[in-house]
Amino acid sequence: MSSGRGQLGSGKTARSAARSLGGFVSAVSRDGLNKTLQDNGLGDLVGKSVTETLFGIVSLCGGTDGDIDSVDARNALSKTLDEVCKDASTPEELEALLTEQMQGNKLGALMIRYFGNYLYEQFCRTFFGQLIQKHGDVKANSFLRSIRDVIKSGLANETVNTDLTKVDWFGREGSQMAQTILNNTLSVFE
């Protein structure tokens, strides 16, 4: 985790990762995990462990760009898949959990979870150094769980009564929401 000051990323990779994740989950729901892996050049992961498969999905959906925004996007994608798939111990259970994301408004909830994890990554990279300077390393690090909770809470407040599938997470609406949430989070911990 960077402790330096930085700028919020453009969100280009994050947008692409969100679209890819949504497309992948949709394909798993429609065609099954094995076929979706094969169709996306990940056929060597068929029958492999859940961990190996999730690494492959993160690599597929998160791209390989080396800029800091891409790293934030991949970290958020990895965290999101870990949260959603934590109960899967077999490929069949993984398929069931991914397929479940297409029911009701769960795809919107998946995107909000991803966006919240992305905001957390952005916050840590961009503002965490300020917290260390103000409060010291030990105290700033003790804030991390609370920071994630404040971001999730802020995101929930910003999206109340909103159709989550219609939010342009990485467009103007998402950018304004992100800046508001990040600034509010920083003010809570400063």
| DSSP state, residue 4 | S
Residue in this structure with the two tokens 């909770």, named with its chain if needed: 149
pLDDT tens per residue, range 35-61: 999 999 999 999 999 999 999 999 999
Convert the pLDDT of each residue in 110-160 to its tens digit: 988 998 999 999 888 888 888 899 999 999 889 888 999 999 888 888 888
Tokens 């429609």 locate to 30
DSSP annotation of 171 reads: S
Nearest to 54 by CA among 70, 68, 33, 71: 33
- Contact present, 155 and 116 (Cβ < 8 Å): yes
pLDDT of residue 10: 56
9: alpha, beta or left? (left if phi > 0; alpha if psi -120 to 50):
beta
The answer to whether residues 115 and 159 touch, using CB atoms and an 8 Å cutoff, is no
> How far apart are alpha carbons 32 and 25 in whole angstroms?
9
pTM (2 d.p.): 0.85
